[in-house]
Structure formats: C-alpha cells, structure tokens
Amino acid sequence: MAAISVQCCIAGGGPAGMMLGLLLARAGIEVLVLEKHADFLRDFRGDTIHPSTLEVMHELGLLEALLKLPHQKTPRINARFGNLALTVADFTHLKTRCPFVVLMPQWDFLNLLAGRAGRYPTFKLRMNAEVTEFIREDGHIVGLQAATPEGPLTVRAMLIIGADGRHSVVRAQAGLKGVDFGAPMDVLWFRLSRRQDDPADPVARFDTRGIFIMLNRGAYWQCGFVIPKGSHAQVKACGLPSLHESIAQLAPFISDRAGELRDWESIKLLAVQVDRLRQWYRRGVLCIGDAAHAMSPVGGVGINLAIQDAIAAANLLAAPLRENRVTDKDLHGVQQRRAWPTKMTQLLQLFLQKRVIGRVLHGKGVSPPFFFRLLARFPFLGWIPARLIGIGFRPEHVHTPDVWNDRRSPRGERANYH
C-alpha cells in the first residue's frame, strides 16, 4: 500500500479542485489532487467560462494562454418565448477585461490549469485515483484512502477538500447533510452540425412544444433538449423520430440536421438537481463547488461559482495551512464567505425553474416573466442579468502570493473582506 503525506488533499480534478490546487501550490502549500478518471476528456460538462473567471485568469497571468486555445466568444445570450425574441444578457456592457462568455471544452481549461500547477514543486496530481473512505484516528479525520490501478493509496492530510461533484464521496463520508430544493426538469445534451450561415449567439427557445437550448461551438451546436423531471424513459419509448420532430419544430432552421441523431448513445442525460449543504465542513474536511451546492444549469453559472469557492478557500486557508493550524473557525469562514452568493444564485435559478421552465414543461403557457418583457422593450436593461450571470453576487479575486516567483498579487497576500 502506497502512502503519502501532504498539507492538503483535494478530491476531484474539476474546475474547483484544479483551481484550488493551483492557488495553494503557488502559495507554497503541499497539495495533492486526486482525480478518479484517467483524463479530463468528458463531453457535455459545463464549458462556459464567464467574465468573473476570465478576470481571475488574468490575475494569474493565464488569460493570454487561455484565449489561445480553441474557443468561441459569446457577447450576448438570446431567448425566444413563442414569437417574442429578446436579448436576455448583454455582456458587452460589463466593465470588465473580457465582456463576454467563453465557450471552451472543459478538458482544455483543466489541462491548462494542471499544466501551470505542475510547474510548482509542491503540487501533485494523481489521475485514476478514486477516493473510497476516510482514515480516522481518535474520532478525527486525518486522511483518506483511494483506489488506483497500482493498488490502494493512503493519503494523510491536515485538510481534505471535497471538490468531487454532486455525488461527492467526501460529502457522504463526512456525513454532511443538505437541503434538496428540487427541479422540474432534466436535460438531454447532444451535438448537431453547424453551418456558416447559422446564427452565432446562443439561444434558448421556449415554446408550447418544449424548451430547446443551442450553444455555438464553432463546427457544431451543443444542444440541450429540456424534458420534465424523470421522463427520460418515456421520451426514449416515444422513439428518436419523435425527438427529431420536436427539434425541427423548436428550431426550424436546423430541422434537416435532426436526423444526425441516429442512436441514444449520442444523447447524454443530465439529471438536474439543486441542493445546498447546511454545513460545508467538519474538522479536517471542507466541501466546495457542486459537492457543497449542486446548481441548476440555468445561466451556466455552476462552474464559475465553484471556481469562486476555490479562490475564497485559497485566500482564507493558505496562511493557516502554511502554519499547520487549520481550525473549524477557518473552515466556517469559507462557508460564511460563499454561502450568501450561493443562496442568492440558487434563489434566482429556482424562481426561473418555477415561473418559466416548469410552466412550459407542464403546458401552462410560454409567457415570459414581467422583467423579460421589460428587456424586450428596453434592451439596455440587459446589463442586469449580464452582471448576475457573468460576474455574480460576490466575485472573488486572487490574494494568495506566488512564493516561487517571489511575486505577490497587487491586491496583497491576505484577503481583507471588511
């Protein structure tokens, strides 16, 4: 049985885990990231990088490298409610370095973070390493065990971070309980080819026949067909021709490409859930990202909220980790910092799920809420949802130093939130 000892062990190599690993390693903390898969190549994960995250990439000196990778810039998000077309969010009005959303395969983003983190001698990344259980001594969590192709791996750590998603093993092992707020829908994700004369901006179409989301990925459309919660088996039973017909009705310009879906293997189900832990931590353990709060896909904000969690955690925990004195008060500080923006974002998502998505899916009409009707009449109001989606309620900035290059963030080493 292999064994390793680090100051911080992060379960999960997604956006939150890799960002936190990078920030702690550059601050001189011994950190190990465990990723259960052999690579980052998983399709239909969140691929939206919002202006708040792009600002952080600039602060880390990684923005130029990021924008050299294949991507699409999205300055606006459009929607159509029946015959009413409007711009839901116009990011061009944001006073930020990058007033747009970047659509990029998540594996490219994660590989960039992993490559930069790998330059620091205190960073380690183990792929094919799945957390199985905690190590406890005298009632305290002092490490974990992971399954690897080479055999069991024992990791002793001062702090374990659960960044392993909505089905978090860390969350379950720590016995942390949450509140499930429910969701009226699931989403079928798939690709359809895109042509040069197709529209460029993403669009969400709300119609009596359903809800259809289209994201411009350059050579193809990443499409989301929204279905009532738990109806996947029923949709499959109706057959692919029925799905083709629904797509053609919702997006007539792409009707001749619906037949590209030739089997159900090319269609991935996202079972939507919205929940939040009552307490994100216990002694020696902290959950962030989807492990602490599973988000609805509404607005595509989940990844960026998780990255904000990681930045706040690094800002508040780097110094205690360096001094080997992480306390419950330190962990509570992370939850206190991030609980309010999480709650407010989920409240907005739940409102839209109930007042818009749920009504459409249950045949109660496609009339948009009052604010959306205002947007159609006064387009300049598009900066409000753009701010909420692109920046969020409490954007975080990097305050941890890069000790290896003896260069500190211009905002200082320690965060001052007062």
pLDDT by residue (tens digit) across 167-182? Answer: 999 999 999 999 999 9
Give residue 236's pLDDT.
95
User: Domains of the chain: which residue ranges?
Assistant: 2-71+103-181+273-362, 185-228+231-270
CB atoms within 10 A of CB 222: 19
Question: In the beta sheet, which residues pair with residue 93?
Answer: none
250 closest CA partner among 108, 23, 80, 59: 80
CA dihedral over 283, 288, 291, 293, signed as positive or negative:
positive
Enclosing H/E stretch for 140? strand 140-148
- pLDDT at residue 418 tops 50: no
Instruction: Kindly indicate the confidence band of residue 363, based on its pLDDT and cuts at 50, 70 and 90.
Output: confident
Mean of pLDDT values over 147-162: 96
Give residue 44's pLDDT.
59
| pLDDT tens per residue across span 324-357 | 999 999 999 999 999 999 999 999 999 999 988 9
The alpha carbon of residue 184 and the mean position of all alpha carbons in its chain are separated, in whole angstroms, by 20
Residue in the structure block whose two tokens are 């200082």: 412
Question: In the beta sheet, which residues pair with residue 161?
Answer: 10, 286
Give residue 294's pLDDT.
94
- pLDDT at residue 410 tops 50: no
For residues 346, 348, 349, 353, the Cα torsion angle rounded to the nearest 10 degrees is 130
Mean pLDDT, the chain, as a whole number? 91
Mean of pLDDT values over 239-263: 92
Top CATH class, 2-71+103-181+273-362: alpha beta
| pLDDT tens per residue across span 35-85 | 999 888 776 577 899 999 999 999 999 999 999 999 999 999 988 888 888
Percent over 90 (pLDDT), the chain = 74
1.10.3720.10, 3.30.9.40, 3.30.300.10, 3.30.465.10: which CATH number matches 185-228+231-270?
A: 3.30.9.40
- pLDDT at residue 28 tops 90: yes
Instruction: Kindly indicate the confidence band of residue 89, based on its pLDDT and cuts at 50, 70 and 90.
Output: very high
